[in-house]
A and B are shown apart, each in its own frame.
Chain A
Amino acid sequence: MGANFTWVMIGCALIGAGASAVGVFSFLRKQALVGDAIAHSLLPGVALAFIIGGEKSIWVLFPGAFIAGWLSILSIEFITKSSKIKPDTAIAIVLTVFFGIGIVMLTHIQQSSYGNQSGLEDFLFGKAAAMLPSDIALFAIVDLVLISSIALTYPYLKLYSFDPEYSRAIGLPVRFIQFTLSSLTVLAVASGIQAVGVVLMSALIITPAAAARFFTSRLSQMIILAMLIGLVSAVGGVYISSLAFKMPTGPWVVMILSILAISAFVFAPSKGMVSRYNKRKEHQLKVRSENLLKLFFKLEEKGESNHFSRTELLNHRKFEGRDLETILKSLLGKRLLARSQDSFSLTEEGREEATRVVRIHRLWELYLNKRMSIAADHVHHDAEAIEHIITPELEQELLKDLGYPELDPHKQEIPGTKNLKP
């Protein structure tokens, strides 16, 4: 460890951040597989560069990787353009052919005079420790190119990623944008051959972007967050693999990436699974609570009494499992219901809320009946859903449109409209 290890960490940080920034655009353009094809296709380039250059320095191998990556993109494009083969098939063909050739060349190198010392197989799954301080300069240059290109052409990249046809229609230099994006992607992927390896490098392109998308809906923030996630995973992966696990670096980087991505998927605020589940539950409870309030209102309307026991409530509406208890508890907590011994009644606020829901229900029925000419016996079902959604502003508009009506299509009173008249 020591000084050299610090350099390795810095190198990995640069690689992780750069690759993730470019990856945001691959992700948004749904080109995840292209990244994978490029990564696998680097192998023959690396092998050939080694044979020609005779050494394992990244400065020698990187150009080979870059050219091979570009060739793979051109091959995919050529296959899709000149045949009926669909892009995903073309990607699979290019990936396997290039990678296959790469493995053959690798085997050849290992069996020939270069001997086993070549260590070229490290490029399959990555071995960050092989990084030299002098390599860091290369990664710094790559990052500089990546980030400044993105910053300079950001508006174009954004428009092109969202709507390529429109970009062409307004005469943007689409070929140039495509070329830029492809070059940046190849650069980013190629920079990871040492630290992550060709087999897993595409994860560092796509996964940070996918995770970042859960947290933000702003492209600029998404890029920064993805860079952060990529950086943390790359550095973290290298650190863990250095703890004498004698493992290649790539798998550890991907492990950390995956943990981060899965956490984002599950826990991210508002878009994560947990939060979405809670929101759904909340809405469900709201709907059910409003329905129970409505039941109180209607029973009162019939003039039966104001106090109802659980059994009476259950007689009028079906509740599953402990639903009734949950709803009662929530309504009691909000002081919309009051309880005396075993019976429940509406509080002042509860009656107001119940009135509101019933009013919207009947207003909507009337609206459907009057304005949309839907028969009176067909409007109830729709109103059951709408009553939980309509906002006060919309309610006002409905009231105004219908002239503050007092009776719904079933000739029942629409409660409380008088008080709402301006």
Chain B
Amino acid sequence: MIAFEAHNLTVSYDKQPVLWDIDFEIPEGKLVGIIGPNGSGKTTLIKAAMGILEADSGFVKIFEKSPDEIRERMGYVPQRQSVDWDFPATVMDITMMGRYRKGKLFGRLSKADREIAVDSLKRVGMYDFRDRQISELSGGQQQRVFIARSLAQQADIYLMDEPFVGIDAASEESILNILREMRSAGKTVIMVHHDLHTALEFFDWVVLLNTRLVAAGSKDEVLTEENLRTAYGGKLNVLSRIADLVKRQEYPLREEDSKE
């Protein structure tokens, strides 16, 4: 089954197209990376797929249906900076939001919903923080709460916008394992990802973007030197690769440091 299909998709801001005539398919049960330089339209693609942005032309289909018909089966992790973390809410509050549904009258949640949320928090290692105010979390912890919220959705396809930004290596590994488990259970996980090196190791399917589609397919087909050069132009030199590596060398204790 085709999990995700973009058909001649064009999306613009202020009439300026930032995604141009994108056309590709993703089969079910894959871990998929959306890769491309800054401003290449990765976030825009995810938002268009979630129905947050409207397409100028073309469409996205999820499991061969329009996203509107199938939202219950779609999980979403937005970019962390898209919300104000000073909002008065606890970690548990935010995770429970993953259980809200269109049909549920006025959003009352049941005990079963609560258990699912608790389980999601445990899976990302944030259960101990469940009563913590979200304003008192580190960046990586906030990111994990967002991932927990999407896990609580119990979807069949997940769209995530840079879920690993600011997450330390150990948590990244454990979350990746969760995603791999989900893949084994037949779920599809599509994520915007910034790091080319880990992309090779994480994904089995890659969509390479730069306003236009550069390539989409299995990672070995897509991540060729030539495709990368097309997507990144001359920008991808050794120095930027090293800078990328350095950026990933976070202190493992940084999260604990930021506790007050």
Interfacial residues, chain A to chain B (CB-CB below 8 A): 28, 30, 84, 152-156, 158-159, 161-163, 165-166, 168-173, 213, 216-219, 222, 371-372, 386, 389-391, 394
Contacts and interface: CB of A to CB of B under 8 A. Distances in A.
A171 B102 contact: yes
Contacts of A163: 78, 82-83, 97
23 contacts: A28-B87, A30-B84, A154-B107, A155-B108, A156-B100, A162-B83, A162-B84, A162-B87, A162-B89, A163-B97, A165-B78, A165-B82, A169-B52, A169-B71, A170-B71, A170-B101, A170-B102, A171-B68, A173-B102, A217-B133, A219-B88, A222-B88, A390-B253
Given A216-B88, A372-B251, 6 more contacts: A155-B100, A156-B107, A163-B83, A166-B76, A169-B74, A389-B257
B196 interface: no
A158 B89 contact: yes
Given A153-B106, A162-B94, A372-B249, A172 B100 contact: yes
A171 B78 contact: no
Nearest to A161: B87
Indicate the member of B52, B72, B101 with the most A CB atoms within 10 Å. Answer: B52
A32 B124 CA distance: 36
B153 interface: yes
Contact of A168 (B51, B84, B135, B253): B51
Contacts of A372: 249, 251
Interface string B83-101: 1100111000110010011
Contacts of A219: 88-89
B78 A166 contact: yes
Given A155-B100, A159-B97, A161-B87, A171 B71 contact: yes
B7 interface: no
B50 interface: yes
B106 A170 contact: no
A372 B251 CA distance: 8
B226 interface: no
A372 B88 CA distance: 37
Contacts of B50: 165, 168-169
Nearest to B251: A372
B100 A394 contact: no
Interface residues of B, number: 36
B14 interface: yes
B109 interface: yes
Given A170-B101, A173-B102, A159 B107 contact: yes
Contacts of A28: 87-88
Contact of A84 (B14, B133, B252): B14
A169 B253 CA distance: 34
Contacts of A391: 256
Given A152-B106, A156-B100, A159-B100, A169 B76 contact: yes
Contacts of B71: 169-171
B47 interface: yes
The winner among A162, A169, A172 for most chain B CB atoms within 10 A is A169
